[in-house]
Structures are given as C-alpha cells and as structure tokens.
Structure 1
Amino acid sequence: MLAARGVDTIFGIPGVHNQEMYRGINEAGITHVLARHEQGAGFMADGYARATGRVGVAYVITGPGLCNIMTPMGQAYSDSVPMLVISSCLDETAATKGQLHQMKDQEGAASTVCDWSVTARHADAAYALIDRAFAEFEAGRARPKHITVPISVLQADAPSPPAPNAHVAHSVHTVRDSVIHDLANQIKAAAKPLFVFGGGCIPAKNGIRLEDPVRALLRRSGAAAFTTYAGRGLLACDDPMAFGAYLARPSSAEVFAKADLVVVFGSELSECDLWRPDLGHDCPLVRVDIDPGVLAQKIGTTTQLQADATQVVMALGAALPQITPPKWAAGEIAQTRQRWRSEVDAERSGIVPICDALRAAVPKDTMIYSDMTQFAYVAKEVWDMEQSGHWHHPTGFGTLGYATPAAIGGSVARGGKPTLTIIGDYGFQYTVQELGTAVELGLNLPIILWDNDKLQEIEDSMTRAQIAPHAVQAHNPDFCKLAQAYGANAAKPTSLLALVDAVQTAFEADKPTLIHVTPAILDD
C-alpha cells in the first residue's frame, strides 16, 4: 500500500514487536535504511521529506522505540514536515502488567508531538488511516501523523489494501478573484509596501517552485521584502529590494515602521522568526496562510486570507502585470543589510568569514542541514541562498543532534546531489552513531563540525544574565579518530583554503567526511 502511494524509502529499526512490518518490503520495491537509534530514524525521515516534499516514513517498535522518535516528531510538527510514523503496540495494557516495552498510554504520549496519534485495531482501519494521512499531507498544512498497530493485528492475515485515491487538490482553501483584485489594488496604492515570505511558500507542491513568481511579484509591485530563515532563497541574492533573512534583527522593526502596507505570505511570525512581540508596523497587515490557527494569532492583522501562499503569490503576479519602479531606496536597503551583517559578525565573532568562504566553495545546488549551533545561527542570516528549500534547520522545537541524520535522509533522497551538514561539537554527540548508517550507505556527505569546545551559546547567555557560567564545558573526544573508527573520512583544516579544499574533496568521496573546524582556523 505504501509503495502504491509513492513511498520508496522507509527509515527505521526492526524489533521483535514490529518485525511483521518488514514482511514484504523487498517485494514492494521499498528501500529500508537502518538507523542506529530511533531518534536518528525520525530525523532521517524528516530530512528525506524536506528534500523531496514527499512523505518521510519511519518504522519503530513499541514503547521505547516510539519514545525515542518523539523528539523528531516534535521537530517535524514545529517545522511542518510530512512525516508518517508507524509503530507496533501491545494488544492490552490495562489488565496485564510487566510486559516487554509496556507503557501506560502509547497513543496519548505520541499525540503530544504530532497532528494525531491513533490505533488501528484491524487491517482495514490501518489502510483507512494511511489514506487519511496522505490526503491531509496533500490538502493541508503538513504535520507528522502516528499510526500504531497492535502486535496481534500485525501478525494476522489481512485483505489486500485499496487502490490509491484519486489525486487530492493541493488546497481546499481558494481565494476569490475579487479578493486578489482588492489586494493587488492595495499594493498598487501603497507608497512603501513591504512583504515577508516564510516557509509556507516552500517547498511548493505539485512541482511548482516560487522563486520566479516571488521575484516577479517584487518587480511588479515595487515592494521591498524580507524572508524568514525558512524562506531563504525565494528572493534573488542581488535583488536591491531584498532585506534578506534579517527579520530577527531588533532594528528591523524600524523598517516595518516605515511601511504603509505589510503582506505576510506563509509565516507564523513566531518567536523564532522575530524574537520580539511584534513586527513594529503601524499600518495595515495582510496575512496569507493555510493554517487558521496561525491567522488567529493577530499580530496587528487587518486582513486574514486562509489560502495556500503559493496560489496567492501566483495570482497576485497575474493581477500586477506591469513592472513598477521600486518604492524603496536601494542604497538605504544595502546600507541597512551591511549594518546588520556587521552586527551578526560582532555578536559571534569570526564565523562570518568562514561562512563566506564556504558559500563560495560549495556547488550552487547544495542542500544544507544545520543544527543548533552558533555557526548555524550566524549562517542563517548572512549566507544568501541561490534557491529556496535548500537550507533546513530545526527551528521552533530546536533539538540538538538533528543535522547529521537529517542530512543522511536528504542525501538518500537526492541520489548523490551535493548535501552538506553543519553541526556543533555538543549536538554532534547526540546522534554521532548515525555515522555508521552514512558509511554503510556510502554517502559523500561532508559534515562540518564547529568545535568551540563548550556550550558557547549558553555560556554567553548566562553571562548576559549575570549568571556565573556553569555546566557549559565538556570533555570532547578526538572527533577525527571517532569518525575514522566508524569508517568515515576525517579532516582538520587549519586555514580557510584548507577548509574549502576539504569540503570539495568530501563531495567527491565514497563515504562521509567529518571536517573538524575550530575558531583557530582564522589564525592562519
């Protein structure tokens, strides 16, 4: 059934309780990727889904297997990733105690970190729930689902699954032509329209990519624009009307204060987007989002449009056919961006030059997976992306250890296209064991490990709060030797030129390469 719905890869770990889920995988033509930990399997499924726009599927066992994958499920929920987790469960837990992998409420526990968590008590229910999950992934906001199946049901005979449903339209929420016409007129009448493009604009479904429509809309509206971190790549790097991904800079509020119309496409404007309570605008705000829960969070909203941002951007482009002169001063935007870049460099000194060197060195279609590390916090602001949907970060839920297994899933999905990991020394050790999977698969995956030998971000935060830094220093292993013990390549460049060479060499290797980078790299 999964194969008939386009699933070609499943990430997971077999166990005595879920082994029946593995019967027939080879015959169905599905590849199974063996993770070293269920958390790794979940992040791999997440990375696969982000790379393809298709559903990432993970298999786990009862109890601890499900608990281990709940962190990736929470991350996928936060970042709107289509992930389907299928687990086994015990047939009965109320009257019988002391069973292997027993927990009090497996279904309820998983429900706290996903869209829904339900038990399929017979085969037809499992089939119906899978089709429900795929229909909802296609038609609404993508968020993880969990189906758990009792062991006796997995072991029983079952009827053949139903054929796939007819194609479901991407969104049931369409906007009337009159609404688009009115919004287009508002934009034309505005003296300083300002747009925000978020992760809800990517990845576009049905094969539609929004880079060209977004860039055309800017030219036809005369507006300036920001992207959220997730929306990077939608705007051209050299667009004079692009403020970039500096939305969270405190003084970006001053820019919004100058606007007389703000339109937000597909962004929650969450704490992790802004790091302040509001945009700073004092003008009409139009929000376009598929999720009514987002629209209910009124951040000075004047108009709410429940619709797919993709559809609205393209419809607006058609309603604004003429090129309009820019309504913002290009020189002022350039100066503002340069000031923000300098602020980033001052806050976390030394990382910006490394970002610049790497950006110039990697192929333009490189897909990057980053972790909760200072290197990524800098890069998300200063590293301009050539195309959208090519930088993935654990925003929101903010889990450590995401990047390596997620990049493995992305690399599997991309079939050899350049994929890169950026992770910190502490976060790397959360999921270091997944190096074994990357070696096993022969992935040419460069893993840039930023090692400042401590929890630097937490130390800085404690210092700002006038707390004596505590528990921020940890003994690290020899990372290069550790990688080699797994069978991976390893390098420890001592200059930016050597770093560039190490990354380019890693893309040509037949196995992953750990590239150990410390702040001392700038000394040479």
Structure 2
Amino acid sequence: MVTRPLGAQISHMLKARGVDTVFGIPGVHNVELYRGIEEAGITHVLARHEQGAGFMADGYARATGKAGVAYVITGPGLCNIMTPMGQAYSDSVPVLVVSSCLERKDRAIGRGRLHEMRDQEAAAATVCDWSVTAPDAAAAYRLIDKAFAEFASARKRPKHIQVPIDVLGARAVAAPPVPARPRRPVPHATDVARAAAMLMAAKRPIFVFGGGAVEGYLSARRVVKASGAAVFTTYAGRGIIGPDCPFHFGANLSRPDSAAFMAEADLVLCIGTELSEVDLWRDHLGQSCPMIRVDIDPHALADDHPAALPVAGDAAAFLDLLDTALEGHVPATTWTHDHISSARARFHAATDAERPGIVPICVAMMQALPKETMFFSDMTQIAYVAKEVCDMDRPAHWHHPYGFGTLGYALPAAIGGKVGVEAAPVVAIIGDYGFHYTMQELGVAVELGLSIPIILWDNGKLKEIEDCMVRAQIAPNAVIARNPDFCKLAEAFGARSAAPKSLAEFQEALRAALKADGPTLIHITPGITA
C-alpha cells in the first residue's frame, strides 16, 4: 500500500473533498503540509501575515459558498489567525484552519521549545466552533471529515485542527474515500403549517431576513409577495429582497425609528438571524405581537428574543415549504408603499445627517459598478453609510466584518473573494486606519494580478471613535495617526493608484480599475467634490 507523510496526505484528502485553494504561510513546523500541495493539484496563496491568510480564507468562503482553508504554524502563526477565526465565528463562515503543534513528547511539558504555547488547542477554541488535536493520521482524517460534515449540515463556523510536528512527518496511508455528507435539518411540517396559518391571518406582518436565509432568497421573495408583508433585512441579509419590493424598509433595522414600525405589526417573522447587538443596536426589536423565529442554530431560539413559534431547521427549506403553503393566498395587507417609502427616505436622511458628505460618494460608486459586483468592506464610516443606503438586488454580494468587528478585514478578504470568483468584479472598501492593519497584503494582490479596486476612505483619523468620544463628552485623543502617501505606497508595491478629486473622476477610476491587470488603490477624502 502506497504511503506518504501525513502532511502530504492531508492536501490530497482536501483536494478529494473539493478544496482547490489553500491560504497560508509555511514555516519550519508546518513544512510537511506543503510537501503534497502541488502534487494534489491545490493552489496555494502566500499571505504576508497569518491574519491576512485567515481573512483571505474567509473572503473565499463567503464569495464561493465553499470552505476556506488555511495552513499556519505552531504558536505565533495560530495566534495571528485567531482574529479572522473570531470574525468567521461571529459571521457564520466555514473556515478550516490546519496548524502544526509541538511534538507529542513535548506538549504541556514546558521545555522552552520554538513556538511553544501553554495550551494552543484551548487558545484557539475561544474563537472557533471547536479546536482539536489529531494524535495520529486516522484522527486527522476523521476530524477533517467531521468539519466538512458540519459545514454541510449545521451553522457554518470555523474549525481548528492541529497536528503534532512528528505526526505530520510520519508516513501514513491515504485518507478514506469521501463519505456521504448529512443534509441540513428540515423544519417540521406542523411548524410550517402553523406559521403559514399565522401569516395568512395577519394584516400587517413584517419579515426580518438575516444572513442565514440567503440561500432561500427566491422563495423569500415569493413569500413576501404572496403575504403582502413588509420587510427589513439585517446587513448580512441585504439583497435577499430586491429593491423593487414595494414594502421593503431596507437594511435599516438598526435605525431607532424602526422599532415604531415593529410596534405596528401584528406578526413578526425573523428568518435566519440571531437579532444580535449589531443587527439592532437596541435591546428589543420593538414588537408587541407574536413572533416566529426560524434558525438552524437552537441557541438562537433560546436567547433574549423569545418566539411564540420557534422553528428549528434550515431557513431556506422553511421558506421553500412556506412558499408552497401560501400558494393561492390573496394577501389582505394594510401596509402601503407610500408609508414605507417615506420611512426609508427619513432613514436615509438620518444616515446622511449623522455622517455628512458620504451618501453622494456611495451613490456614485453604485452607478459606476456592474450589478454583479461583490463588495468587501471594513470598519469605516463610508461602509457604515453604504450598508444602509446602497440597495443590493442579489444576496451574498456585500461582505462585512459584522459581529467581531475587526479592522483590516476588507483588503485580504477581497483578495480571497477574487481568487474564488475569478473574473467577476470584486471591490474592497477600507478606511485609512484600518488599511494599516493589513496593507501588506496588497503585495499578494499584485503578485496574483488581481484587478481589485481598493477604495481607501481617508479622513485622516479614527473619525468614528472621535465622534464617539465627543458624544461621551470626552476630549478626543489618540484618534489621529500619521498616514503615509497612500498612492506612493501602492505604487511601491507595484499597484496602480488614483486620487480622484470629483465624483466623475471617482467613477472613471473605478471603471478603469476593473479593467486593470492588477489592483488599483483609489484614494478619496472628504474633500471630494460633486
């Protein structure tokens, strides 16, 4: 029987399970993972920092719907990727991190070995679904298949598998054949029937669609039309309902005034959302009527937002079944288009007043880019405005670090997304301070020749934090950092750059960047003119 070092067998196993790309950085501890990559037919993307590798794997997963995979070394490599793991955990992204760890004879002994940590497995477990050590080849294979089985059937969250250095280098037989994978649980027919009856009896129903409902967006659109319901989406649910829906409040759930509309409802249906703090920015949704909640994660059905009808199961399957149950129903809604469109206008005006001057930039950006553009945004004011005012006509095309809220996400995530979708347009939106976190990954985009427009919003400070300090009556401090000449910096990496002074020039820079044979940094400031 043919054997290979386990590190090589792992790459062959991943290839057999549909993995075509791995993001990572080789080191002396995980070098055996790199022995079989090319032979297995896997493309490896060399990040400049393990944080970048993790965000690339995240972006790849969000863009493709497949698992993002990263290889990192013991100790600092794993520590560096823990921030992306935490982001993937909060945003339900399927990321598999494979790391090395100390040899079996050295673990927990404290011999002062290279890259030694007191408890590497436990450290990673704080930011992922599970973190487990594979003591031998058979265990490594079982854990990899366990990860893919859970990606297919449960809430998608990152996993960490660590393999001792000596085990990675030991010869092993090939992994077993690809097993059958379980499907996601389908909601019980009784629950669907009860939900349909409650919806058909309602006069002012409201749906709230979250990121967990993305795969059921076609059924969601039919259900909304058949029921005459009004709709909010969370930021992660943008595009599930198209902008042509007459009763669509948009992604304005976090607007304080949205609670008043919830109070007008006689039924609220929350599909695929945990109604987290960053979805609402208040403690309560605002309704006094019954609530139906549908979620694949039972934890979400037992939180601070109790439902009259909690439904455990896949949101897309629920929407398909509900669509069938509503066939022939004539809605008796009392919602009106004027009522909702005027509310949206007020929401947008409030957004513009809070962060003035950004809405026109967002409008110009959307006008210049193709409808199928995929966005990766960072924790920056231009993204906060865009998430509320830029309508999406399709789901899963605007990706943001919602829950964990880390800076530096957009650039490496856009690189991973572009690697995944190849010719499709991908745009990164990042602030000047956030760019400092992962700017080195610009070299990866240049190296791979990725035509990514990188919109760099430069207001010269941590403006959101400064505003927070002012609201708290704290004299602003530690909010201004010296910036480089960003255009020269981009050019030093081998990227293109542009510094448009008007919105028309901005639009032209975007169009040109999409046609370039590498990334283009588009530097804009609050001084950009109409």
TM-score, reference length from structure 1: 0.97
Task: Please state how far the C-alpha of 1:106 moved relative to its aligned partner.
Answer: 0.5
Matched position secondary structure for 2:370? coil
The answer to whether the 8 A contact 1:193-1:327 is kept is no
Counterpart CA distance in 2 for 1:486 and 1:161 is 41
1:227 and 2:233 are equivalent in the alignment: yes
Query: Structure 1 residue 212: deviation in Å?
Result: 2.3
Q: Give the Cα separation in 1 of the matches to 2:412 and 2:109.
A: 39
1:95 aligns with 2:109: yes
How far apart, CA to CA, are the structure 2 residues paired with 1:330 and 1:95?
Answer: 68
2:262 matched to which residue of 1? 256
Residue 257 of structure 1 aligns to which amino acid in structure 2?
A: A
For 1:294, the aligned partner's letter is A
Aligned with residue 11 of structure 1, among 23, 33, 38: 23
Alpha-carbon offset, residue 327 of structure 1: 3.1
Q: What's the offset of the Cα at 1:191?
A: 1.3
Deviation at 1:168, TM superposition (A): 2.2
Q: Which runs of 5+ in 1 are unaligned?
A: 205-209
Alignment-derived partner of residue 219 in structure 2: 213
1:36 aligned residue (27, 34, 48): 48
Question: After superposition, what is the alpha-carbon deviation per residue over 1:45-71, rounded to whole angstroms, capped at 9, x for unaligned?
Answer: 000000011100000000000000000
With over 3 angstroms needed to count, the CA separation of the structure-2 counterparts of 1:369 and 1:79, relative to structure 1, is same
Aligned match of 1:309: 315
Amino acid at match of 2:202: A
Native 8 Å contact 1:223 1:327 kept in 2: no
Letter in 1 for 2:125: S
CA contact (8 A) 2:238 2:251 kept: yes
Distance 1:192 1:53 in 2: 34
Matched, 1:126 2:140: yes
Instruction: Tell me which of 432, 440, 445 is aligned to 1:438.
Output: 445
- Per-residue CA deviations over 1:457-497 (Å, capped at 9, x if unaligned) read 00000000000001001110000000000000000000000
Tell me the secondary structure at the aligned position of residue 519 of structure 1: coil
Residue 366 of structure 1: aligned partner: 373
Residue 94 of structure 1, CA deviation:
3.1
> For 1:338-375, what per-residue CA distance to the aligned partner results, in whole angstroms no more than 9, with x for missing partners?
00000000000000011011111100100000000000
Q: Letter of the aligned partner of 2:26 in structure 1? A: P
* 1:195 and 2:207 matched: yes
AA matched with 2:489: L
The structural deviation recorded for 1:176 is: 2.6
Counterpart CA distance in 1 for 2:91 and 2:190 is 32
Structure 2 unaligned spans of 5+? 1-12
- Supply the distance in 1 between the matched residues of 2:54 and 2:90 (Cα, whole angstroms): 14
Q: Tell me if structure 2 keeps the 8 A contact 1:446–1:506.
A: yes
- Cα distance, 1:238 vs structure 2: 1.9
* 1:512 counterpart residue number: 519
**1:458: which partner in 2?**
465
**Is 2:433 the counterpart of 1:426?**
yes
Question: 2:6 matched to which residue of 1?
Answer: none
Q: Distance in 2 between matches of 1:326 and 1:282?
A: 18
One-letter amino acid matched to 1:315: L
Counterpart mapping for 1:282-321 below 5 A? 282-321=288-327
Instruction: Spell out, residue by residue over 1:423-443, the C-alpha distance to the aligned partner (whole angstroms, 9 max, x if none).
Output: 000001100000000000000
| Residue 155, structure 1, aligned to residue 169, structure 2 | yes
Counterpart check, 1:78 vs 2:85: no
Comparing 441-450 with 324-333, greater Cα deviation is found at 324-333
1:130-167: per-residue Cα shift (whole Å, max 9, x none)? 00000011010000000000000011101111010013
Cα offsets for 1:113-139 (capped at 9, x unmatched)? 000001001011000000000001101
Alignment partners' CA distance in 1, 2:190 and 2:114: 60
Q: Which moved more, 1:85-94 or 1:393-402?
A: 85-94
Contact 1:483 1:490 in 2 (8 A): yes
TM-superposed deviation, 1:230: 0.3
Mapped to 2, the partners of 1:86 and 1:472 lie a distance apart of: 37
Kept in 1: contact 2:266–2:290 (CA 8 A): yes
3-state SS, counterpart of residue 134 of structure 1: helix
Q: CA deviation at 1:219?
A: 1.0
The answer on whether the counterparts of 1:43 and 1:406 sit within 8 Å (CA) in structure 2 is yes
The CA distance in 1 between the partners of 2:187 and 2:43, in whole Å, is 40
CA distance in 1, matches of 2:111, 2:306: 53
Deviations, residues 267-306 of structure 1 (Å, cap 9, x unaligned): 0100000000001100001110010111110414211111
Q: Which SS does the other structure have where 2:173 is aligned?
A: coil
Q: Quick one: which amino acid aligns to residue 416 of structure 2?
A: G
Question: Does the CA contact (< 8 Å) of 1:129 and 1:147 recur in 2?
Answer: yes
Separation (CA, whole Å) in 1 of partners of 2:304 and 2:366: 37
After superposition, residues 259-270 of structure 1 pair within 5 angstroms as: 259-270=265-276
2:122 corresponds, among 108, 111, 114, to 108
Partner of 2:8: none
Q: What secondary structure does 2:241 align onto?
A: coil
The 3-state SS of whatever aligns with 2:70 is strand
The amino acid across from 2:454 in the alignment is I
Contact 2:59 2:417 in 1 (8 A): yes
- Distance in 1 (alpha carbons) for counterparts of 2:111 and 2:399: 42
Indicate the SS of the match to 2:360. Answer: helix
**SS, match of residue 400 in structure 1:** coil
- Answer yes or no: is the 8 Å Cα contact 2:108–2:119 preserved in 1: no
Amino acid at match of 1:437: V
- 1:379 equivalent in structure 2: 386
Q: CA deviation at 1:177?
A: 2.2
Contact between 2:210 and 2:237, CA under 8 Å: does it hold in 1?
yes
- Alpha-carbon distance between aligned partners in 2 of 1:177 and 1:93, rounded to the nearest angstrom: 50
- What is residue 343 of structure 1 aligned with on the other side? 350
Post-superposition offset of 1:181: 1.6
Residue 22 (structure 1) aligned with residue 21 (structure 2): no
CA deviation profile, 1:90-127 (whole Å, cap 9, x unmatched): 01133342211111110010000000001001011000
User: How far 1:307 sits from its partner (Å)?
Assistant: 0.9
- How much identity, in percent, do the aligned residues show? 61
Partner of 2:154: 140
Q: Quick check: 87-96 or 412-421, which moved more?
A: 87-96
Q: Is the counterpart of residue 486 in structure 1 residue 493 in structure 2?
A: yes
Deviation track 1:231-274 (CA, whole Å, cap 9, x = no partner) reads 00011112111010000000100000000100000001000000
Distance across 2 between alignment mates of 1:55 and 1:300: 32
Contact 1:219-1:326 within 8 A present in 2 as well? no
> What is the match of residue 207 of structure 1?
none
Aligned equivalent of 2:61: 49
Distance 2:265 2:180 in 1: 45
2:277 and 2:453 map into 1 onto residues whose CA distance is 31
Out of 493, 504, 507, the position equivalent to 1:497 is: 504
Indicate the SS of the match to 1:225: strand
Kept in 1: contact 2:203–2:332 (CA 8 A):
no
Distance verdict in 2 for CA 1:176–1:98, change over 3 Å: closer
Checking the alignment, whether the CA contact within 8 Å between 1:241 and 1:326 is kept in structure 2 is no
Q: 1:381 to 1:160 in 2, by over 3 A?
A: same
Identify the residue that residue 241 of structure 1 maps to in structure 2. 247
TM-score, with length taken from structure 2: 0.96
